[in-house]
Amino acid sequence: MISTVIAKFGDDISTDTIYPGRFMATVLPTETPQYAFIDEKELNAKLNSKQVPPNSVIVANNNFGCGSSREQAASTLKGWELIIVARNFARIFLQNSINLGLRTIICPTIEANEGDELEISETEIINKTSGKKFAIEPLPQARQAIIDAGGLIAYTKKKLLEKSKKN
pLDDT digits (tens, 9 = 90+) for 125-167: 999 999 999 999 999 999 999 999 999 999 999 999 988 887 6
pLDDT for the residue 164: 86
Indicate if the pLDDT at residue 86 is higher than 90.
yes
How many domains, in total, are found in the chain?
1
Give the residue from 37, 148, 43, 143 showing the smallest Cα distance to 96. 143
CATH number at residue 121: 3.20.19.10
Distance CA 106, CA 124 (A): 10
Q: Is 124 helix (H, G, I), strand (E, B) or coil?
A: strand
CA count, 13 A, side-chain hemisphere, 49: 7
Query: Would the pTM count as exceeding 0.95?
Result: no
Band of the pLDDT at 26, cuts 50, 70, 90?
Answer: confident
Backbone angles phi, psi at 93, to 5 degrees: -60, -45
CA–CA separation, 112 and 143 (whole Å): 26
User: What are the tens digits of pLDDT across the range 38-83?
Assistant: 999 999 999 999 889 999 999 999 999 999 888 899 999 999 999 9
- The range of the structural domain enclosing residue 11 comes to 2-166
